[in-house]
Amino acid sequence: MNTFDFDEPRERRGTRSIKWSLGEEEGAWVDYPPAGGAPPQEANPLPMWLADMDFPTAPAVTAALRERVEHGVFGYTGLDDAFYDAIIEWAQRRHGWTIDRDWVVTNSGVMPAINLLIQTFTAPGDGIIVQPPVFHPISQAVEYNGRRLLNNPLRYEAGRYEMDFGELEALAAEPGARALILCSPHNPVGRVWTVEELRMVADICTNNELLLISDEIHGDLTYDWADFVSTGSLGPQYHGRLVVCTGASKAFNLPGLKTALTVIPDQGRRDDFHTTLRNQNEMFGANLFGTTALTAAYRAGEGWLEGLMGYLSGNLEYVTNYLATRLPQLELVRPEALYLLWIDCRALGLSGPELDDRLRAAGVWVEQGATYGAEGEGFIRMTIACPRVVLEEAMDRIERALG
Ligand SMILES: Cc1ncc(COP(=O)(O)O)c(C=O)c1O
């Protein structure tokens, strides 16, 4: 029995939710058009595409925000011991990762941080390694900043994704290679990298003098059958070349509050990053509501997060059984983390656009696998972070489209 209610659908249309309002409220697209443009407006479509959850956040977070709202004065706001202590204790307790408060830098998001890290620590034309299929804004950040994308595709073997370490070593040794952006856990394929794999990555970066940017925003969304290890906890020998991007926004469903943590153990690098933030006018104060929510989530949200993971596990089991019995041509890549499922539809013999057309005609929006790199062609990515009744309806529509 879950103490928290994840079953009750919450109407999100009309709340400026980008996930739910595309096609209805034009402005919602202005800042974040997806590759391929806005999907057409279907009657009552179910959006299963974007990585935000249809659940209200932890009650402890809402209570902290409500209390702060009641105060009514929302001036420029700094950071306090409660904020840093919450982060330090969370990292230690949940991930065995000891961090120093000086290492923690806040800004408006993981992707803004990754872009600014690229600008701070690499030069135009430098090579940056990414491992597709991967969350496409990461590859875009490399290209939009005029850096060279060094792709090291993951290998998909026997239903599981692995890193290609041989190719990784070769790319890392290329002249001009300067950084590697690791997605850990990996969106969209759901892998949680083992401590051995992480050490191999960190050693390759060390041996080739690459900066290792570890995007761990999904780390707290790891299922019982995997163990998430933060790259930050591997040991001080890696600190000189390591930046960890994290925060509470994915696990506690707070991405609209625009607050992320960039953890930089090396003081020289931190100073350089602060200089970039200063030059972007990103220095004066923190996001009041984002930092209030993050503090409450890490201090008092753990029970809710466990309830969430239990509910997501149930949703995952539902989809797993549904596919096995009613859509056996579709192969689910069993996730170790993430509320996003990566499903191999290649046995249907449809192109990505054909798959998309059919699903949209049936009133369900998912992400096309090719969005994440050519390796994703014929796959779809869909969220399960919604009440079961919504998921059931989505699966029925998927069956109507592809069955
Ligand atoms: C791997 C990964 N990194 C970063 C982000 C975006 O983070 P933010 O909203 O803090 O920029 C996402 C969102 O889905 C993600 O999946």
**pLDDT single digits (tens) 115-167:** 999 999 999 999 999 999 999 999 999 999 999 999 999 999 999 999 999 99
* Amino acid sitting at position 336: E
pLDDT over threshold 70, residue 26 = no
Q: Same structural domain for residues 224 and 363?
A: no
> Does some domain include residue 1?
no
Cα 214 to averaged position of ligand 1 atoms, centre (Å): 12
Span 91-99, average pLDDT: 98
- Cβ-based neighbour number of residue 385 at 10 Å: 24
In a shared domain, residues 84 and 224 = yes
Q: In this structure, are residues 164 and 172 in contact, taking their beta carbons and an 8 Å threshold?
A: no
DSSP state, residue 382:
E
User: Looking at residue 349, which CATH number applies to its domain?
Assistant: 3.90.1150.10
| Ligand 1 nearest-atom number relative to CA 247 | 10
pLDDT of residue 296: 98
Residues 49 and 184 in one domain: no
Q: Are residues 243 and 311 in the same domain?
A: no
Mean pLDDT in residue range 206-221? 98
Shared domain for 249 and 358, answered yes or no, is no
Q: What is the mean pLDDT of residues 40-66?
A: 87
Determine the residue of 52, 110, 116, 220 to mutate for testing ligand 1's pocket, defined as the one with the most ligand atoms within 8 A of the Cβ atom. Answer: 110
- Is residue 354 in some structural domain? yes
Domain count, the chain: 2
Cα 147 from Cα 238, distance rounded (Å): 24
Query: Does 248 lie in the same domain as 269?
Result: yes
pLDDT at 31 exceeding the cut of 50: no
Ligand 1 near 51 CB (within 6 A): yes
Mean pLDDT of all residues in 74-96: 97
Confidence of residue 40 (pLDDT cuts 50, 70, 90): very low
Q: At 259, which CATH number?
A: 3.40.640.10
Assigned domain for 183 exists: yes
Residue 13 lies in a domain: no
Residues 247 and 262 in one domain: yes
Answer yes or no: is the C-beta of 183 below 6 A from any ligand 1 atom: yes
Q: What are phi and psi of 107, to 5 degrees?
A: -155, -165
Q: For 192, which DSSP code?
A: -
Which of 300, 315, 343 is where one domain is finished? 300
Binned at pLDDT 50, 70 and 90, residue 22 comes out as: low
Q: How much distance in Å is there from the Cα of 402 to the middle of ligand 1?
A: 29
Are 175 and 235 members of one domain? yes
**What mean pLDDT is predicted for residues 338-362?**
95
* Residue finishing a domain among 233, 267, 300: 300
- Of 252, 282, 300, which closes a domain? 300
The answer to whether residue 309 sits within a structural domain is: yes
Cα(50)–Cα(251) distance, integer angstroms: 14
pLDDT-derived band of residue 193, with 50, 70 and 90 as boundaries? very high
Give the distance (Å) from ligand 1 centre to CA of residue 41: 26
Residues 185 and 319 in one domain: no
Instruction: Mark whether 310 and 377 lie in a shared domain.
Output: yes
Could you list the residue range(s) of the whole structural domain that residue 342 is in?
A: 18-58+302-402
pLDDT at 219 over 70: yes
Q: Which of 107, 139, 186, 187 to mutate to test the pocket of ligand 1 (most atoms within 8 A of CB)?
A: 187
The answer to whether residue 230 sits within a structural domain is: yes
> Residue 8 falls within a domain, yes or no?
no
Whether residue 294 sits in one domain with residue 315: no
223/242 same-domain check: yes
* H/E stretch holding 262: strand 260-263
pLDDT for the residue 41:
43
- Using DSSP's 3-state secondary structure scheme, residue 255 falls into helix
Residue 4 lies in a domain: no
